[in-house]
Amino acid sequence: MGMVTIMNENTPYYANLIDSHFHLLSMKEKGFTISTVLDEMETRGFSGGIDIGIDSTDHLQRVALVKEYPFMRIASGIGPWGATHKQPVSEMVNALAGLFVNSMPDAIGEIGLDFYHNYGTVDKQKELLIEQIELAHYLKLPIIIHTRDADEEMKKVLEQYSYPHGGIIHCFSSSMDFATFALNKGFLLSFAGPITYKKNDELRKVLAYTPLSSLLLETDSPFLAPQTFRGKPNTPTFISLIYEKAAEVKGVEVSEIIKCVNENFSTIFAC
């Protein structure tokens, strides 16, 4: 595959943007050059970004990729797709934790439940989620949650714990009821490209309801490009379009969204 271009005249420039969730190794698979992506974020004056793992064994590889970029953070975890592995959950989680001995991640994630894809069994997905929540508590780290078609079971798991180190519901696509639950548990809600899609009025209602003090924005690159680039590989430089839509929905200036997202990101990743 040829190199994917990340500059585009349709992506407006703002300083101090943060992309709270993207996958550099998945972007590489789509034809992006990782150093080019990170250099462009640096050139554009991003104040933060967090790379999310795609595999339980990729932690050290990603630490090396981002070490020259001080604005970058990483999260590592085993998503619900890990439930398809024959390896026992405790062995997978212990192996993951073993990678952290000399390089602690900034969060555990993404972890969660996904009943849309039916990864493994429900019980194994829940076991994998719970063990990693407990690992995050032990390490005093925030968690980054993936939930798809699993909100009721997710609520049952999450309500068993408090989250003194914080948490994020990534790529929020759930109901107002789940948003209220998550906010009451102290989670930040991170919205992605789907808030720009023409038929997503219900999701925009949830965004309008979400306090600015609980808001993050993300691209989930290389997935879910905003409306202007829908169907194409996504990149963190497209997040300016998501900030603009969030400002429109919230009825505030883009600068206010930037300020609040920076404050929220800095708070949850204070260490």
The string of DSSP letters for 125-185 reads: HHHHHHHHHHHHHHHT--EEEEEES-HHHHHHHHTT---TT-EEETT--S-HHHHHHHHHT
Query: What's the pLDDT at 34?
Result: 96
Query: What's the pLDDT at 5?
Result: 40
Domain parsing of the chain, residue ranges = 18-268
Structure token pair of residue 214? 């609980």
3-state class (DSSP) for residue 55? coil
Output the pTM of the full model.
Answer: 0.94
Ordered strands of the 18-22 beta sheet? 18-22, 48-52, 72-76, 107-114, 143-148, 167-169, 188-191, 215-217
Query: What's the pLDDT at 111?
Result: 97
Quote the CA–CA distance of 188 and 214 in Å, as a whole number.
Answer: 5
pLDDT in tens, the chain (271 residues): 333 444 455 678 899 999 999 999 999 999 999 999 999 999 999 999 999 988 889 999 999 999 999 999 999 999 999 999 999 999 999 999 999 998 999 999 999 999 999 899 999 999 999 999 999 999 999 999 999 999 999 999 999 999 999 999 999 999 999 999 999 999 999 999 999 999 999 999 999 999 999 999 999 999 999 999 999 999 999 999 999 999 999 999 999 999 999 999 999 998 5
Give, as one character, the DSSP assignment of residue 33: -
Report which of 215, 210, 207 is spatially closest to residue 262, judged by C-alpha positions: 215
Instruction: Name the H helices within the chain.
Output: 24-29, 34-43, 59-66, 89-98, 122-139, 151-158, 176-184, 201-209, 239-250, 254-268
Query: At residue 99, what is the residue type?
Result: L
Contact in structure between 105 and 135 (CB atoms under 8 Å): no
Those residues with Cβ within 8 angstroms of residue 144's Cβ, 6 or more apart along the chain or in another chain: 21, 52, 75, 77, 107, 108, 109, 110, 111, 167, 168, 170
Query: What's the pLDDT at 2?
Result: 37
Structure token pair of residue 107? 């969060």
3-state class (DSSP) for residue 97? helix
3-state class (DSSP) for residue 224? coil
Structure token pair of residue 99? 């990678």
Q: What is the dihedral of CA 185, 255, 8, 72, to 10 degrees?
A: -50
> Topology of domain 18-268, per CATH?
TIM Barrel (3.20.20)
Quote the CA–CA distance of 220 and 50 in Å, as a whole number.
Answer: 10
